[in-house]
Amino acid sequence: MHDPAGLHIRPAAAVAQAAAAYASDVRFCYGGREVDGKSVLDLLTLGAAPGTTVELVVIGADAEEAADHIARVWHEVLGASPGSANDEL
Amino acid sequence: MNKQMRVLRGIPVSPGVTIGPAMILDVTGLRIPPRRVSEAEVDRELERFRQAVEAAVHEVNRQKELVTAKLGPESASIFAAHIVMLRDPGFSNRVERLIRDERYTAEYAVSHTIQRFIEVLQQLKTPLTSRVGDLRDIGNELLRHLIGSQRQELKHLEQPVVILAADLSPAETARLDTSRVLGFATELGGRTSHTAIVAGSLEIPAVVGVEGLLAHVLPGDQVIIDGNQGVVVINPDQPTLERYERALRRFKLFTESLATLRSLPAETKDGTRIALLGNIEFPREVHYSLRQGAEGIGLYRTEFLFLERDTPPTEEDHYEAYCEVIRAVGGRPVVIRTLDLGADKLPGSTDEQRERNPFLGLRSIRLCLRRLELFKTQLRAILRASMEGPVSLMFPMVSTLLELRQAKLVLAEVMEDLAEQGVPYRRDIKVGIMVEVPSTAIMADYYAREVDFFSLGTNDLTQYVLAVDRGNEKVANLYSPVDPAVLRLIRRTIIVSRRRGIPINICGEMCGDPLYTMLLIGLGVRSMSAAPHSLPELKQTIRSVSVEECEKITRRVMLMENARDVEAYLRGIAREKLPELFE
């Protein structure tokens, strides 16, 4: 979680959209709470503070591919460490 | 009259005055009982919910088109978030679970789920509270479809009404039938809220942020909405009512004479032209200003770009807004003022940044010079936009020559960057300053060598010269822009600018009050920038006087010892010369 502004609606929508493309169950965990990664509202209520780490849990048939893709989208829209992949969504 | 008159204050967001019976809207206060249905009815409730979602999405899309047509595509982004939320699986799963597992009605499941999300969002320490309003909006939108539209009656109004509500969503505001809705006032909202933006485009008087509005009003009570002053009067007494009725007649008179007045120049009886410009905050105010007779935009405040958002505006955010204004004014001049805010108002600021004395603290140009990335982003956008029309750049709150030089240095750097990148801009863009800190007025002759124009900001000048915060009611009586000390500084600055041959404009609030117009002309002001709603009155005043008589009045005023004498004298003169405005 690098974006100083926190997880606001535009990045949350991008992450949720990426997650919704997969059959697997996508969860984000932070501070002892767990939310549905396919829901923008859930992501907004995660309350992850800038500079902290959020855990991504994906369970299902396409889990591996899903986890890779969602993590990449997350890094892109929330401005992860410089030099990270800058591919298209 | 047995009803108690109440005068409430809020934030004026759309000018004009109106009087009418109150209609009170309050869906937000609606209590939805936790009613359960039988097992057999569950499927029907699920279906009702899904239909309500579809209807709401449809409705939001319709609003989006409506607002896009009225205000342009950038205003419609308000609605994009609503659609994302309405279609969110996290939301629908919870609602459907409540219906299926608990057998609650669709309306209770919706209101409960929305309420839960709002509570969670409010507990977060991240700056997401602006989303709470969006959640309420979609909750209300869904409930309206489920309950059979509480606010449907708005479409079947028999007689014109004044709408009072806790809050109106931008969508609801855009939908108001302006042939039947005379004006509105709400408890919530700020100058830059989306509702305020939409209200302005409807051109009906509106006041938002009126605390305690709904506590003292009953449906049908007579209500005055004064969108010029930000005042709401409930059950006005006879004298107040008469005063406002007079104002209303005046307002009508002006609206009617507007067409004739607009084609006439702002020229004194002895043929001196006075430039009349508009002060604006939002791009959509340009059209209104021009219709009111503005010859250009003398002050374009850019603070709204920074307010009510989670992150600072991007260069494109700036650029788009500026281009919209420049296109709308169609070749007339525009003066863009760079950021004029305190550090505590910036996106992402914390309580620690709150200062004990913000008006004497880190704000405006001082803040820009500390936060160069913000400043440069804005300057780049202004420079790029300068290709689209005659734009000038103005720095606010400059208090030392060093600051001005620093700001100009940053501007030169940004120009160099643009040149290197091959991005076109006007190298000869005019650069001016607000003269609003006493030190700058006193040193005006030095500044005159280094800027292209001055703009006198009399609001801040008055507060700094007199050491009075006019928002503080305990001392507000000491605040007057015609205090002799302020007038001397104004006169001095005008004389310097005239001697040095650099243009000077005046853009404080006093400029919008026709009471002071003669005095200002007498002081040598030839360019005035004011709130667009006041321009017709100003033009009318200018056209009824001669420079000679204004100078005579000013000579008298400059001998006076205190603000009260000046005010009384000017009022007497105004009644005599402009009875239609001041009687």
- DSSP state, B181? E
Specify the pLDDT at position A85.
32
Specify the pLDDT at position B201.
64
Helix or strand run (H / E) with residue A46? none
> Range with the lowest mean pLDDT among A11-25, B15-29, B55-69?
B15-29
Beta pairing class for B231-234 and B222-226: antiparallel
Residue B94 has pLDDT above 70, yes or no: yes
Residue B414 has pLDDT above 90, yes or no: yes
Minimal C-alpha gap between A64 and chain B (Å) = 22
Q: Domain coordinates of chain B in residue numbers? A: 1-240, 251-432+504-582
Structural domain containing residue A40: 9-77
Q: Which residue has the higher pLDDT, B442 or B135?
A: B442
Q: Does A4 fall in a domain?
A: no
Touching check for A59 and chain B: CB below 8 Å? Answer: no
Interface test with A, best of B79, B85, B88 (most A CBs within 10 A): B88
**Chains A, B: CB pairs < 8 Å:** 56
φ/ψ region of B189 (left if φ > 0, alpha if ψ in -120 to 50, else beta) reads left
CATH number assigned to the domain with residue range B1-240, chosen from the 4 options 1.10.3720.10, 3.30.360.30, 3.30.300.180, 1.10.274.10: 1.10.274.10
Residue with tokens 């855009």: B174
Of the residues B82, B194, B318, B533, only one is catalytic, namely B194
Residue B539's contacts (CB-CB under 8 Å, 6 or more residues apart) are B261, B264, B266, B276, B293
Per CATH, which fold does B251-432+504-582 belong to? Answer: TIM Barrel (3.20.20)
In percent, the amount of chain B with pLDDT more than 70 equals 90
Touching check for A79 and chain B: CB below 8 Å? Answer: no
In percent, the amount of chain B with pLDDT more than 90 equals 53
Matching CATH topology for B1-240 and B251-432+504-582?
Answer: no
Confidence grade of residue B47 (pLDDT, cut at 50, 70, 90): very high
Cα(B570)–Cα(B517) distance, rounded to whole angstroms? 10
Closest alpha carbon within chain B to A35: B90
Touching check for A1 and chain B: CB below 8 Å? Answer: no
- Do residues A54 and A82 lie in contact, with contact meaning Cβ atoms separated by under 8 Å? no
Most confident of B12-21, B60-69, B183-192, B439-448: B439-448
Query: b/e for A30-47, b at 16 or more Cβ within 10 A?
Result: beeeebbbbbbbbbbbbb
Q: Does A24 fall in a domain?
A: yes
Ranges of residues in chain A whose predicted pLDDT is under 70: 1-7, 79-89
Confidence grade of residue B560 (pLDDT, cut at 50, 70, 90): very high
> Is A8 in the active site?
yes
CATH number, position A66: 3.30.1340.10
Touching check for A44 and chain B: CB below 8 Å? Answer: yes
Average pLDDT, chain B: 87
Query: Closest to B121 (Cβ–Cβ): which among A4, A40, A45?
Result: A45
Rg (CA), chain A: 12
Cα(A11)–Cα(A7) distance, rounded to whole angstroms? 7
Does A20 contact B84 at a Cβ distance shorter than 8 Å? no
Domain tally, chain A: 1
Specify the pLDDT at position B150.
43
Minimal C-alpha gap between B121 and chain A (Å) = 6
Instruction: Give per-residue pLDDT as tens, B233-275.
Output: 999 999 999 989 988 887 777 667 766 787 789 999 999 999 9
Confidence grade of residue B79 (pLDDT, cut at 50, 70, 90): confident
Interface test with B, best of A7, A9, A22, A34 (most B CBs within 10 A): A9
- What angle do helix axes B106-123 and B42-71 make, rounded to 10 degrees? 60
Residue B30 has pLDDT above 80, yes or no: no
- Do residues B557 and B569 lie in contact, with contact meaning Cβ atoms separated by under 8 Å? yes
Residue B190 has pLDDT above 60, yes or no: yes
Most confident of B38-42, B228-232, B497-501: B497-501
Does B310 contact A6 at a Cβ distance shorter than 8 Å? yes
Query: Closest to B128 (Cβ–Cβ): which among A4, A39, A44?
Result: A44
